[in-house]
Amino acid sequence: MVAGWESRIGKANKELEGSSVGEDRATWLRSRIKMLETGIADMKFASFLIAEYDPFIVIPTNIVKDRRDPYAPNIGDFAIVLYGRTAYPAIVGDAGPTYKVGEASLRLAREINAKSTPYSRPVSDLTVTYLVFPRSADDPRRAPDYRHWHKRCEELVDKIGGLGEGVELHQWKNLLAAE
């Protein structure tokens, strides 16, 4: 998709270089280029994650939107999802409705409960905890690397005292890796 949009930008720029383009058309082309460039930046920034394959959590928009608060989570921050005696490395992958807390990717949900679907949550009581590490996102952002996520989450949780005795930090398998 990115390549297609970049191609459209190239064609629009070529058309703008031509002497026969009218003022209305030039205005429209510049507007279109700006829209496409913004879309490309968004896709490059946030389109790495796939809900069926990548473990991520969703934080309510009203919590994520305050980027100046050093304790507020941001998209890309590392997190650990605690359930039972297992800690699941994850990242903050999206922002969702303000009235809903506890959303996660389908991959994470199915690891907690294999019967999970987009319409059936893995747990209905308050036994899941999200531990988010604000300002911990990789810069620049990159495609998921579960070994890196594991290492990073382990480092971050160790800074605050580590996991309790008998709690295991889960190691994700890459389901998209070429065999």
How many structural domains is the chain composed of?
Answer: 2
Assess whether 31 and 67 both reside in one domain. Answer: no
Span of 38-47, 75-84, 108-117, 155-164 with lowest mean pLDDT: 38-47
Assess whether 38 and 121 both reside in one domain. Answer: no
Assess whether 27 and 93 both reside in one domain. Answer: no
Q: Which two tokens stand for residue 136?
A: 């911990």
Which residues constitute the domain of residue 8?
Answer: 2-46
Mean pLDDT of the region 76-85:
96
Assess whether 42 and 72 both reside in one domain. Answer: no
Mean pLDDT of the region 103-108:
91
117-168 per-position pLDDT tens digit? 888 788 887 889 999 999 999 988 788 899 999 999 999 999 999 999 999 9
The answer to whether the CB of 98 falls within 8 A of the CB of 158 is no
pLDDT, position 78: 97
Assess whether 31 and 113 both reside in one domain. Answer: no
Assess whether 73 and 138 both reside in one domain. Answer: yes
Assess whether 65 and 39 both reside in one domain. Answer: no
pLDDT, position 42: 67
Question: pLDDT: is 24 or 177 the higher one?
Answer: 24
State the Cα–Cα distance between residues 69 and 91, nearest whole angstrom.
18
175 within domain boundaries: no
pLDDT, position 28: 93
Assess whether 94 and 157 both reside in one domain. Answer: yes
Assess whether 144 and 96 both reside in one domain. Answer: yes
179 within domain boundaries: no
Q: Which of 21-35, 57-71, 76-90 has the highest mean pLDDT?
A: 76-90
65-76 per-position pLDDT tens digit? 777 788 889 889
Average pLDDT, the chain: 88
Assess whether 164 and 85 both reside in one domain. Answer: yes
Assess whether 11 and 90 both reside in one domain. Answer: no
Assess whether 33 and 84 both reside in one domain. Answer: no
95 within domain boundaries: yes
* Total number of residues shown for the chain: 179
Is the per-residue pLDDT at 103 higher than 90?
A: no
Strand partners, 85: none
pLDDT classification of 1: cutoffs 50, 70, 90? low
177 within domain boundaries: no
8 within domain boundaries: yes
